[in-house]
Structure 1
Amino acid sequence: MTAAARPTDSRRGFLRRVLAAGAAPLAAAPAMAQTSPAPASAQALAMRTVPSSGERVPAVGLGTWITFNVGRDAAAREECAGVMRAFFDAGGRLIDSSPMYGSSQAVVGEGLARIGRAGDVFAADKVWTGTGRDGPSQIEASRRLWGVPRFDLLQVHNLLAWEDHLPLLLKMKADGRLRYVGITTSEGRRHREFESIMASQPLDFVQISYNLLDRDVEARILPLARERRIAVIVNRPFRQGALLQALQRHPLPAWAADIGCDGWAQVALKFIVSHPDVTCAIPATSRADHVRQNLGAARGAMPDAAMRRRMAAHVASL
């Protein structure tokens, strides 16, 4: 991915490629039975456990790729602060960014200061530079942009120079300057190398792409994360908006109500966060109403294995 201009509506993200069937059709299963639910606003937010520490984090976080890359546009920065305010008010905690994301880090930092929530955030960022010697200065510059005393999680972005950066992050953790260490990839790239690092290094987190159509990680990476006790953050839950744009041409299936979904965004997110090996999904948005809807996917009934199969089969057939 490369830095790009901010879209006007994250639910109508541009179609980067024609949507193809990314999952083999699976046998449908009966919908889950459900007792009368409490109103969504009264339901507890689903929490997930970080295996290496036992810490609990909300199952839906906030990504900042593209949507927070707004440069110096004062009105857009104010909108981003409003997204963050709605995110925290709805129970959110984990926000993810990267030096790769243009002005996003600065926009996050400004927003945290404006709404007074720097002490509440689970700050997840990345190191993204081709040489190990530049890692420490980049990390410090990122921290200053965020305005936090330290990051909770730092990950090597897309494995760039990971042999240099990972020892640095592990040393920072050992010195008490960082809580968690991880690596990331996206769009199915370098999975074999990714698995090798997962199997050999003491990681707390990995970040991967996973959604209703892109499901390759189900075969090896998610089981390996469970085996190695590694938390999993999911990026591209909506295929950068393309998945939702395609799904919104179709009526919401009746079974969506059985798992408390009021739209395709919640269907897509509940499919992800109901997977037992997923810790947190990080949809990005530029709208406060969408962030509230996204957090709503972490409330109420969750799909079981049979329902997850039915969801994947239905979307693959559209």
Structure 2
Amino acid sequence: MHLDSRSRRRVLASLAALPLLANAQARPALLTRAIPSSGELLPVVGLGSWITFNVGRDPAARADCLDVMRQFFANGGRLIDSSPMYGSAQDVIGEAVSRLKPAQLFSADKVWIGSSEQGPAQVEASRKLWRAPRFDLLQVHNLLAWEAHLPLLLRMKREGRLRYVGITTSEGRRHADILKIMGSQPVDFVQVSYNVLDREVEQRILPLARERRIGVIVNRPFRQGELTQALAGKRLPGWAADIGCTSWAQVLLKFIVAHPAVTCAIPATSSVAHVRENMLAARGPLPDEALRRRIVQDVERLA
């Protein structure tokens, strides 16, 4: 049978796609967790942008961030988190979104300004940087002027200009304030630091989140790289294969997202290899409570 050049290209393209299709079918399903206030499903691993996406106008660095986001979406990712505090990160994300046009993006940003009068202007400036019609989630960053900003965000939600409202902290000394707000305000999300070595939120914040049906986003899952660096070169224990892990980064993420109160962990990276590795932690089995205790013991011993 003779094929013209156009038909031949189609056949070759179809044959080239077969290994990709086979790999996609062989992969375990993407793990998701329901947002408690709505039931909407989110993949348990998202993408942070603190430091890693603050690259200014550097074309090469921006291209790296674009490739990271492309790989993130190709692996089923949805939630990307940023803030006005993160320098050029919002603009870097917005430029990439405008080029990639991902249908599944879940946009999470923050208001971070001490003046209540400037809150609306900052939110609008952030929206324009993201090139977004509206945000999915807005959070009061590190509780800065939360008494003023939280009513603004709740009003935006009532008016249909925002889907979810949250609060964040990366400081343990603010946990009492976080608990107070969780117990008295109708927030959809709380964002906190949580990892194998920093587990204070397990005591009160995570149980209250389950009780109050509040989603939990986890920042600093690797202690800004401290944990992965400390474990670099350390041999993975045999139990890692039982939960489908080939790296310590995947172990650390699976430890976090295995907690039933956690909705999504948001590791930040500017590496395509790392985002691919991180997204693999959103597939396959999660550790049970006994194995989570074993992970803590082994990391404390090795790190």
TM-score (norm 1): 0.86
What are the superposed Cα offsets for residues 52-96 of structure 1, whole Å, 9 maximum, x if unpaired? 001000000000000000000011101100000000000000000
Moved beyond 3 Å, runs of 4+: 38-41
> Unaligned regions of 5+ residues in structure 1, if any?
1-37
SS at match of 2:162: coil
- Give the one of 66, 74, 93 matched to 1:89: 74
1:57 paired to 2:80: no
SS at match of 2:285: coil
**Alignment partners' CA distance in 2, 1:189 and 1:48:** 28
Q: Quote the residue 1:261 is aligned against.
A: 245
Q: Quote the residue 2:61 is aligned against.
A: 76
**Does the aligned pair in 2 maintain the 1:40–1:299 contact within 8 Å?**
no
Deviation at 1:249, TM superposition (A): 4.1
**Alignment partners' CA distance in 1, 2:233 and 2:75:** 28
Deviation at 1:42, TM superposition (A): 1.8
Higher RCO structure (Cα 8 Å, ≥6 apart): 1
1:134 paired to 2:118: yes
SS at match of 1:180: strand
- Give the one of 94, 99, 102 matched to 2:84: 99
What are the superposed Cα offsets for residues 8-47 of structure 1, whole Å, 9 maximum, x if unpaired? xxxxxxxxxxxxxxxxxxxxxxxxxxxxxx9896211100
What are the superposed Cα offsets for residues 269-314 of structure 1, whole Å, 9 maximum, x if unpaired? 0000111100000000001111111010010011011111111111
Mapping of residues 226-245 of structure 1, within 5 Å: 226-245=210-229
What are the superposed Cα offsets for residues 107-128 of structure 1, whole Å, 9 maximum, x if unpaired? 00001112222x4310000000
Q: State the AA in 2 paired with 1:87.
A: F
What are the superposed Cα offsets for residues 135-177 of structure 1, whole Å, 9 maximum, x if unpaired? 0000000000001100000000000000000000000000000
Q: State the AA in 1 paired with 2:117.
A: R
Q: State the AA in 1 paired with 2:272.
A: A
Query: How many correspondences in the alignment?
Result: 280
Larger radius of gyration: 2
**Alignment partners' CA distance in 2, 1:189 and 1:127:** 20
Q: 1:46 to 1:57 in 2, by over 3 A?
A: same
Q: 1:175 to 1:130 in 2, by over 3 A?
A: same
Q: Structure 1 residues 156-165 or 307-316, which shifts more?
A: 307-316
SS at match of 2:250: helix
Q: State the AA in 2 paired with 1:48.
A: R
**Does the aligned pair in 2 maintain the 1:45–1:58 contact within 8 Å?**
yes
**Alignment partners' CA distance in 2, 1:63 and 1:41:** 28
What are the superposed Cα offsets for residues 197-245 of structure 1, whole Å, 9 maximum, x if unpaired? 1100001000000001000000000000001000000000000001110
**Alignment partners' CA distance in 2, 1:227 and 1:282:** 23
**Alignment partners' CA distance in 2, 1:268 and 1:190:** 24
- Give the one of 3, 26, 44 matched to 2:29: 44
Q: 1:224 to 1:245 in 2, by over 3 A?
A: same
**Does the aligned pair in 2 maintain the 1:40–1:300 contact within 8 Å?**
no
1:279 paired to 2:263: yes
**RMSD after superposition:** 1.2
- Give the one of 160, 167, 171 matched to 1:183: 167
Q: Quote the residue 1:298 is aligned against.
A: 282
TM-score (norm 2): 0.90
Q: 1:77 to 1:41 in 2, by over 3 A?
A: farther
**Alignment partners' CA distance in 1, 2:143 and 2:51:** 20
Q: Point out the structure with the larger helix share.
A: 2
1:147 paired to 2:131: yes
- Give the one of 100, 112, 116 matched to 1:115: 100
1:316 paired to 2:300: yes
1:156 paired to 2:140: yes
Q: Quote the residue 2:157 is aligned against.
A: 173
**Does the aligned pair in 2 maintain the 1:40–1:296 contact within 8 Å?**
no
SS at match of 1:113: helix
